Structure 1
Amino acid sequence: MKGGDGAKMMRILCLHGFRTSGSFLRKQISKWDPSIFAHFDMDFTEYTNLEECIAYLCEYITSKGPFDGLLGFSQGATLSALLLGYQAQGKILKEHPPLKLFVSISGSKFREPSICEVAYKDPIRVKSVHFIGDKDWLKLPSEELATAFVNPLVIRHPQGHTVPRLDEEAVCKLSNWAMEIILSQRSTNAAPVDTVDETATNKEEEAEPKEESECEIAAAAEGNGIVLQRREAKAVEAVNA
């Protein structure tokens, strides 16, 4: 999808909170200034069973993507951070381009040690913004999640566990953050002209290894999906606590 200026829009997959829905999250986000995400294509999906949702989301991202980033509220933010951490460690989404951005609203880390040892092993190098409410019962866990990312932008608000209404300062911060990402992406996409011939020359040489790599990735992704489902089953109680 392209924006009004003809440039390709970056895509964000949005994950709702516990016992809600994609349409409900869309309504919650609609209270924000529409200009903030005017240059993004927002996709609101549904998931229900936490034990199976990791495999489902990986399949959704792969088949419906590519996506540039994730936005999540509460459990949706926790799941998003997990996906980002696991992709960074090469455990999932190997066939999908690296996700570049993350919007966390009242998010937190998983508590299961086997998950933490992998997902948050290293600082996650994704552009992230974290909304943290002063009255949110997940205030401290949200702050802890922010520390798992490199140079996170933290936007605080006086409300509780909710998608907050943004004051002028918050709108300005979020808009600048989003625009910085858009400009960086457009700069990256502006490939030098003299690289075209070199790419074409190497295309034939790279074709065979690429096919072999895709086969290996497919097998690995299937295996990782099973492992993650088992781990998520253990983490249900921790997430819903």
Structure 2
Amino acid sequence: MGSEGKNIQKKLRFLCLHGFRTSGEILKKQLVTKWPESVLERLDLVFVDASFPCRGKSEVEGIFDPPYYEWFQFNKEFTEYENFDECLAYIEDCMLKHGPFDGLLGFSQGAILSAALPGLQAKGVALKKVPKLNVLIIIGGAKFRNQSVAENAYSSPTQCHVSSFLSFYSASILVAKAGETDFLKQYGVELLESFAEPLVIHHPKGHTIPRFDEDGLKSMLSFLERMQNEVSGMEKQ
């Protein structure tokens, strides 16, 4: 019968937002080398570079080749932002140019943005010209600390249209092993409270793209299958 008897599901399409002072190509390399084909084959991933060229030293210099980019700039306390509105407009332009998208996949600074965008979209602050986001995959994320941004992004538990949110963060801080903690861990835990019934996959490393252990892989595949079914069901309505 070949593929005629199979229920072929449409891949979930994600706009991928990379970390601070890295690039879309770097995030792509990290995902492709760490995530198995059984996960990647369910995803249609679009990688873009952030809005602004890197304004300082990149933490990945010497590991990954330049150029490096940053989505916006911020103060030491992460309470004041520069070029934030320009960043939001740029992401919307990327979604208009390369979309439509089912959701966002973000790491680090890209994860902080991705986690806030559904709330900002619901409040009419961002992404006004594109369809509602359905799915989020957050890796090493945190909340914005600026009060006005936070009030719009997290005022009520975000359900992302189909109530779907997947978060990865390091569990190693629970045993405080040196060198194995994600410096955003406590902020990632706070972020989880902003989402309705998020699925969380723990990993033992620090602030990095995680590999999957056996249980994590099962959870990831189950999540993606459920999201594919829900998104497909919405498109048929």
Question: For this structure pair, what is the TM-score category when the shorter chain's length is used for normalisation?
Answer: 0.7 to 0.9
Residue of structure 2 aligned with 1:159, choices 205, 208, 216: 205
AA aligned to 1:94 is: K
For residue 165 of structure 2, what is the aligned residue in structure 1? 128
Shift of 1:165: 1.4
- 1:44-63 alignment runs, 5 A limit: 44-49=47-52, 50=72, 51=83, 52-63=86-97
Task: State the structure with more CA Rg.
Answer: 1
Unaligned runs of at least 5 residues, structure 1? 192-241
**Contact 2:92 2:130 (C-alpha < 8 Å) held by counterparts:** no
Q: Give how far 1:6 is off.
A: 5.7
Partner of 2:40: 37
Percent identical residues: 42
Residue 123 of structure 1 and its aligned partner are, at CA, apart by: 0.9
For residues 7 and 173 of structure 1, what CA distance do their matches in structure 2 show?
Answer: 18
- The equivalent of 2:108 in structure 1 is 74
1:168 Cα offset (Å): 0.8
Q: What SS class does the counterpart of residue 170 from structure 1 fall into?
A: helix
Say whether the 8 Å CA contact 2:19–2:109 is kept in structure 1: yes
Deviation beyond 6 Å, 4+ runs, structure 1 = none
Distance 1:161 1:143, change over 3 A: same
2:230 aligned residue: 184
TM-score by length of 1: 0.74
* Structure 2: distance between partners of 1:70 and 1:186: 17
Quick check: 1:37–1:178 contact (8 Å CA) kept in 2? no
- Separation in structure 2 between the aligned mates of residue 90 and residue 48 of structure 1, nearest angstrom: 21
**Within the alignment, does 1:28 sit opposite 2:74 as a pair?**
no
Q: TM-score, normalised by structure 2?
A: 0.75
Q: Report the structure, 1 or 2, having the larger helix content.
A: 1
- CA deviation string 1:48-99 (max 9, x = no partner): 4311322111111123211110001100000111222101222222221111
| Separation of aligned partners in 1, 2:40 and 2:124 | 29
Distance (Å, rounded) in 1 between the aligned partners of 2:7 and 2:101: 20
Unaligned runs of 5+ in 2: 1-5, 53-71, 73-82, 173-180
